[in-house]
Amino acid sequence: MKITKIETHLADKFTFVKILTDEEIYGIGEVHPASGTTGTAFTIRGAINHCAEYLIGKNPLEIEKNWQHMFRRTIFRGGSDLMAAIGGLDIALWDIAGKASNLPIHKLLGGPTRDRVRVYTHINGNNTDELTEDAKEKINQGYTALRFYPFGDFNEPLPNSITRIVKTAVNRVEAVKKVSSDEIDLMIDSVNRLSPPEAVAVGKSLEQYNLFFFEDPIESDNIDALSKVANSITVPIATGERLYTIYQFLQLLNKNAASYIRPDLSLAGGITNCKKIASIAEANYIGVVPHNPLSPVLTAACVQFCAATHNISIQEYFTNEQLSPKSDLVDSPLSIKEGHLIIPDRVGLGIDLNLEAFKHYPPIKRARNPLKTSDGALRDY
């Protein structure tokens, strides 16, 4: 079997790849926007073409060999755009392998380690009333884990003082906790926006609420600083959605900077690389919580990965059609029951692109509003 063509398909904010072969078997994958997370993902398309230049004519079933070539044929290895391109293409190669063997991907990875995949979903609101109403709705839908942003309107500046930052977080966590039972896990995400002192103050103030995790308290570039935050509070830290090589995750683990890591299959080199990342996490007794901010294609890849990976703690899952999923972009979205995604029996990835629906979602650029402090300086956004 040989790869004959690689197509790129765009819909809404999403970028998909389709790898075709000379045996009429094809595979699909999804690519993270990487450096195009704000704006248009121009560089991703170049990175896909760069990888396609190598892949055309190759055997798609030689997945590890192809992965190593895509990673190592550039002297300056890694980089978010290249790793995202490799990630989407790697997912597509595993889809082909599953179809060629008439098996779901998770069975090629060693078989299922679990019967279904527990997920957390997002609750949204610009005040405590909106948050608690959304929390009650999600709990009634059967979700047992909820994550939210605890500092007010997501697109507005954080409170000016550290006291107000802490009080805002405490008030929101306390409000959601009151409408949740002891069977519900709660997580918060500060989206890398806090300074280390702010993160420690927030973390200490929330220790009494037994949060599942505190995600991305500070920017992820300085792992030493993150380690200091993690070791200053008892709330477990989750991070890693902006990391993309096994070496970065190894440094994170060596510094004891996280209790949970968050590799993104569409950014961190696909299923092949994320299985290796999960393995080094397992050796450190660290849970894996795959980042999943894109379409149902990435969700399907995550479920295959989670099914065959022992140290999965929980899986991210979007339910808001306005923010992300666009379920009609695939032929058969995965089923969810009682807060768990059902592992599909279909071969390969378990889903396919519904290209007919793409006409309803013309490509658009991603927009993230700049987040400023009271003096006009930028925070991470």
Domain boundaries, the chain: 3-103, 107-348
Angle value at C-alpha 91, between 86 and 93, nearest 5 degrees: 90
The helix/strand/coil state of 221 is coil
Q: What is the DSSP string of 322-337?
A: TTS--GGGBSSPPPEE
Fold identical between 3-103 and 107-348?
no
DSSP character for 380?
P
Element (H, E) at 146: strand 145-148
Tens digit of each residue's pLDDT, the chain (381 residues): 999 999 999 999 999 999 999 999 999 999 999 999 999 999 999 999 999 999 999 999 999 999 999 999 998 989 999 999 999 999 999 999 999 999 999 999 999 999 999 999 999 999 999 999 999 999 999 999 999 999 999 888 999 999 999 999 999 999 999 999 999 999 999 999 999 999 999 999 999 999 999 999 999 999 999 999 999 999 999 999 999 999 999 999 999 999 999 999 999 999 999 999 999 999 999 999 999 999 999 999 999 999 999 999 999 999 876 666 799 999 999 999 999 999 999 999 999 999 999 999 999 999 888 898 889 999 988
CA–CA gap between residue 11 and residue 147 (Å, rounded): 27
Query: How far does CA 10 lie from the centroid of its chain?
Result: 19
Query: How far does CA 259 lie from the centroid of its chain?
Result: 16
13-59: per-residue pLDDT in tens? 999 999 999 999 999 999 999 999 999 999 999 999 999 999 999 99
Overall CATH class of domain 3-103? alpha beta
For the structural domain made of 107-348, what CATH number should be given?
Answer: 3.20.20.120
